[in-house]
Amino acid sequence: MDTWEFNKIAGAVLSALLLAFGMGTVIEILASSHAAHKAGYELPFKAPAESGTTGAAEKPFSFAEVAPLLKSASADNGEVVFKRCAACHTSDKGGPARVGPNLWGVVGRDIGESPSFARYSAALKGKEGKWTLESLANYLHDPKGFIPGNQMAFAGVKDNQDLADLLAYLNKQSDSPAPLPN
């Protein structure tokens, strides 16, 4: 058998293998229904309770529940809670801005303004007022709910005691801390 005949046989065998394995893939692609599949992965979540059902819906957040906790709030524990924020924020005097602004002196500062940070979202720039303990509590509990359209990718602090401790810590990070409510 010469090399020409060997090449023809090898080519025929390789073509047959390619056809056998490739047809399964081609048929699978052509026969699959793309409409039945969703792109990505759907995260499981607890559906809100519908009216008339026995499930209890989550009650809305109220600063009135956090304010009494501020009397006994621990700024030291608030510093521990702040570690969740430290990936994007600093809180030391004169510290640099990171993904988010430095939070030194945030209590009493105008919302959407910081001397060392210029990348605020339009939603934050458009929000009028100052960061009071109440506005910070509402924002830190549910950032997307309090100021829709802001860019902070944080789910929020849901535990009222942790939130009070965090507020005490942020309030302490200032040359002139605001008085805590009685």
Domain ranges of the chain: 63-172
The confidence band for 160, taking pLDDT boundaries of 50, 70 and 90, is very high
Q: Does domain 63-172 have CATH number 3.40.1800.10?
A: no
List pLDDT tens digits, range 17-54: 988 888 888 877 777 655 556 666 676 766 555 544 55
Where are the alpha helices (H) located in the chain, listed in sequence order?
3-31, 63-66, 75-82, 122-126, 133-141, 143-146, 160-172
What pLDDT, on the 0 to 100 scale, is given for residue 28? 78
> Is the entire prediction scored with pTM above 0.75?
no
What pLDDT, on the 0 to 100 scale, is given for residue 33? 59
The confidence band for 181, taking pLDDT boundaries of 50, 70 and 90, is confident
3-state class percentages of the chain: helix first, strand second, coil last, to nearest 5 = 45, 0, 55
